Amino acid sequence: MCTGARVKVDTTTPSESEKRASSSNKPVGTTSSAQNKASKQKRVETAVEDEDSNDSEPDFVKDISQQTYTLVKSVMVGDTAIVSDTDFLRYQEFKFREFESHNIRRLEDAAKKGGFEFEHVSGSATIAAKGVRICDGIVITIEDPSSWKKVEQGIERYMLADKKEIIVKLSMLYTKINEISSDSSDNERRPRKKVIVLVCC
């Protein structure tokens, strides 16, 4: 009678070291990597939102359209004042071309009455304000209407800086040429005397 071979069955439970080995074979860091991706995505979205908010907020620009300044005008021919006046104007209200045309008409009238011709010598504009030293004022040479744009830029700079009592002194100087002297004009106007000579024979 043959007896069957006995098969030994291992019914022992796995040891702690085997459990640790099996757990080490599992993928590590899957949860932490997912959390990192989520946090990065949140940071990117926040940065984009900040950029959008910055773009949507316009820069503040001070409105100076209603601010006024004092313009002192002076037009001289030699020592004679042709124009002497003061205006209170808003920014960019002054029209230099109109001022120049008005000056020419006044100069021509004075030249006809005085018996002289004239020519332009120089022009300048000095911009001053309260709290600004005289030596620190803005001085601009005026040669043509385009020069007045520089004056307006200076006025704008003072207004944006909230300067008070802005004063612009605009001076135009002309000289007399081909002036008829008073002696020669008197000789021309003085009537000639008639002399009658009587000859006795």
Pick the more confident residue, 134 or 14: 134
CB atoms within 10 A of CB 127: 23
Contact call for residues 114 and 174 (beta carbons, < 8 A): no
pLDDT digits (tens, 9 = 90+) for 39-98: 656 565 555 455 555 555 556 678 998 999 999 999 999 999 999 999 999 999 999 999
Ordered DSSP codes for 176-197: EESPPPHHHHHHHHSPPPP---
Contact call for residues 172 and 142 (beta carbons, < 8 A): yes
Amino acid at 140: I
Identify the helix (H) or strand (E) that includes residue 104.
helix 96-114
What integer pLDDT is reported at residue 62 of this predicted model?
Answer: 86
Q: Residue ranges per domain, the chain? A: 68-178
Q: E strands along the chain, which residues?
A: 68-77, 80-90, 117-128, 138-141, 167-177
**Closest C-alpha among 99, 104, 94 to residue 151:** 94
Looking at the predicted structure, is the pLDDT value of residue 127 above 60?
A: yes
89 to 41, 48, 166, 168, 189: CA distances (angstroms): 57, 47, 11, 10, 47
**Closest C-alpha among 71, 107, 104, 109 to residue 89:** 71
Reported as half-sphere exposure (CB side, CA atoms, 13 A), residue 46 has a value of: 6
Q: Determine the Cα–Cα distance for residues 143 and 170; give it in Å rounded to an integer.
A: 12
Query: For residue 100, which phi and psi values (nearest 5 degrees)?
Result: -65, -45
Residue count of the chain:
201
CB atoms within 10 A of CB 67: 18
Q: Determine the Cα–Cα distance for residues 132 and 54; give it in Å rounded to an integer.
A: 36
What is the arithmetic mean of pLDDT over 132-138?
93
Contact call for residues 110 and 77 (beta carbons, < 8 A): yes
Looking at the predicted structure, is the pLDDT value of residue 15 above 90?
A: no
What integer pLDDT is reported at residue 96 of this predicted model?
Answer: 95
Looking at the predicted structure, is the pLDDT value of residue 200 above 60?
A: no
